Amino acid sequence: MRNGASDLPRPPGHGDPRPRERPLVTLPEEDLRWLDHATLLGRRGWGRVHPNPMVGCVLVRDGRVLAEGWHREFGGPHAELGALERSIEDPAGATAYVSLEPCRHQGKTPACTDALIHAGIGRVVYSVADPNKQAAGGGAALRAVRTAVSGPVWPASVGRRENPVFFHRQASGRPFVAAKLALSLDGRIAEAPGLRTTVTGPEALREAHRLRAGFEAVMIGSVTARVDDPRLTVREGGVTPRVPPTRIVLDTKASLSEAGAIFRETEGRVIVFVGESADRAKVARLEKAGAEVRQVRQGPHGLDLSAVLDAASARGIHSILCEGGGRLTGSFLAAGLVDRLYLFQSPRVLGSGGVPAFPGPLAEGFWTEWRAAFDPERLGEDVLTVYEREG
Ligand SMILES: NC(=O)c1ccc[n+]([C@@H]2O[C@H](COP(=O)([O-])OP(=O)(O)OC[C@H]3O[C@@H](n4cnc5c(N)ncnc54)[C@H](OP(=O)(O)O)[C@@H]3O)[C@@H](O)[C@H]2O)c1
């Protein structure tokens, strides 16, 4: 990739920025390459901008970069404003390549469309249409003042792949759920029930920490909380999340030990979801240990997951990374509530005594509705594949 953009930080598993779809408009390869470049710049916002989208912008004149910008921080300047501010010369007449349609509304920052017009930008090329109805229409506004516009260049599926949480939010009120598991070659997530097992290597572990940084909450089941005793914080991977993810445990009977590591670590609030019939004294103990305890109705396999997601949404949580174990992930999959899968696959074999990654019956169609969002990525001995739902 030109200008060293391939070295930029990016969300785990996001590989080649060039979409596999056909462009909606015919453009020279040069334009598509600059759009790829804008996408890579946008990815620098991982962990810092959500629930806003990651967006990048590059200003170009005669094949020369005048400025690069990206949305760096939630509430901060958008990518286009950042690029205009940094331009090494007057950008009038230059081309702006942006990975999302420039916004048309004044929110926390001025409308990007106005800023591009004011700067006299000659041409705007943008990847995908803004799905946010309040902000959309930037392309039409630019055309109305006779700025040359090419966009959207790519269909909405491309935007959904790059910024799944942001696109999901425009269409659904429930939190976006991604499931992450580390699997052995024979589909196990631990060597034996009750045994904490390191399935993947250090490179995968770092990526798993970076993955957490891009979510508002990280969730586990009660068995994982007991066996692995994780802190669920972001400690590796070089990304400091703008807000430490909320740590959630699903614990029907409020049986979690208040001596658990999750309570010793103060980074990120802790929410424990329990059943309506959970023992009051146990609930009080968890509250004393620092957890916010929410009671929700129960379903056949533990807590009712729709009720859990509704309650999380009411607590302002828009995205959740479910880190297992297998039973909790299986329940989410069976309920059709998983939007994305991050599978870290190790070449290790754990054998038939191991804990299965996907126990129990799964919803019809689970095995056929998915496709790899990006090319699988090698992480030391392991491979990360990101799966998204078809359609
Ligand atoms: N390799 C990996 O990526 C990975 C990741 C995580 C864990 N692990 C390993 O996996 C093992 C634990 O996995 P697991 O499958 O046995 O247990 P799990 O999924 O961690 O926890 C399952 C428990 O969560 C509670 N729960 C509440 N609501 C639920 C619902 N709707 N659906 C499912 N569970 C619900 C239930 O216990 P209550 O009713 O008592 O609340 C249930 O028994 C451990 O050995 C751990 O080391 C591996």
**Residue having the nearest C-alpha atom to atom 32 of ligand 1:** 328
Q: Is 156 in the pocket of ligand 1 (CB under 6 A)?
A: no
Helix count and strand count (H, E) for the chain: 12, 19
Cβ neighbours of 235 (radius 10 Å): 11
How many angstroms does the Cα of residue 329 sit away from the middle of ligand 1? 8
Residues belonging to the active site: 80
Q: CA dist 61 to 92, 121, 145, 147, 324, Å?
A: 10, 10, 21, 15, 49
Q: What is the pLDDT of residue 5?
A: 42
- Does the beta carbon of 275 sit less than 6 angstroms from any atom of ligand 1? no
Contact indicator for 234, 263 with CB cutoff of 8 Å: no
Q: Which of 189, 198, 223 to mutate to test the pocket of ligand 1 (most atoms within 8 A of CB)?
A: 223
Rounded distance between C-alpha atoms, residue 147 and residue 139, angstroms: 9
Query: What is the total residue count of the chain?
Result: 391
How much distance in Å is there from the Cα of 324 to the middle of ligand 1?
A: 6
Mean pLDDT by 10 residues, the chain (391 residues): 50 94 97 98 96 96 97 95 97 98 81 95 98 89 95 97 96 96 97 95 96 97 96 92 97 97 94 97 97 95 95 97 94 91 98 90 68 95 94 65
Spatial CA neighbour of 19 closest among 158, 166, 130, 167: 158
CA–CA distance, 34 with 30 (Å, rounded to integer): 6
Please state, in angstroms and as integers, the Cα–Cα distance from residue 130 to each residue in 62, 138, 148, 158, following that order: 28, 8, 18, 12
Is 211 close to ligand 1, i.e. is its CB under 6 Å away?
no
Which tokens in the block code for residue 108?
A: 């926390």
282-317 burial by CB neighbour count: b if 16+ within 10 A, else e? Answer: bbebbeebebebbbbebbeebbbbebbbebbeebeb
Ligand 1: does its nearest atom lie under 6 Å from the Cβ of 41?
Answer: no
The answer to whether the beta carbons of residues 35 and 230 sit under 8 Å apart is no
Burial of 157 (0-12, 13-18, 19+ CB in 10 A): middle
Backbone angles phi, psi at 24, to 5 degrees: -80, -20
Q: Which residue has the tokens 């004294």?
A: 281
The answer to whether the CB of 77 is under 6 A from ligand 1 is no
* Cα 388 to Cα 82, 228, 269, 334, 391, distances in angstroms: 31, 28, 29, 16, 9
Domains in the chain (CATH in brackets) are 2-165 (3.40.140.10), 174-389 (3.40.430.10)
Most informative mutation of 282, 328, 345, 348 for ligand 1 (most atoms within 8 A of CB):
328
| Burial track 143-155 (b if 16+ CB lie within 10 A, e otherwise) | eeeebebbbbbbb
Pair 295, 308: CB distance under 8 Å: no
Tell me how far apart the alpha carbons of residues 81 and 78 are, in angstroms, rounded to a whole number.
Answer: 5
How far apart, in Å, are the Cα atoms of 76 and each of 50, 54, 73, 81, 108? 12, 12, 5, 10, 8
Q: Which residue lies with its CA nearest to atom 37 of ligand 1? A: 222
| CA of 319 relative to ligand 1 center, distance in Å | 20
Distance 366 CA to ligand 1 centre (A): 19
Q: What 3-state class would DSSP assign to 379?
A: strand
Residue of minimum CA distance from atom 10 in ligand 1: 325
**Could you tell me if the CB of 190 is within 6 A of ligand 1?**
yes
Structure confidence at residue 9 (pLDDT): 72
The pLDDT assigned to 3 comes to 40
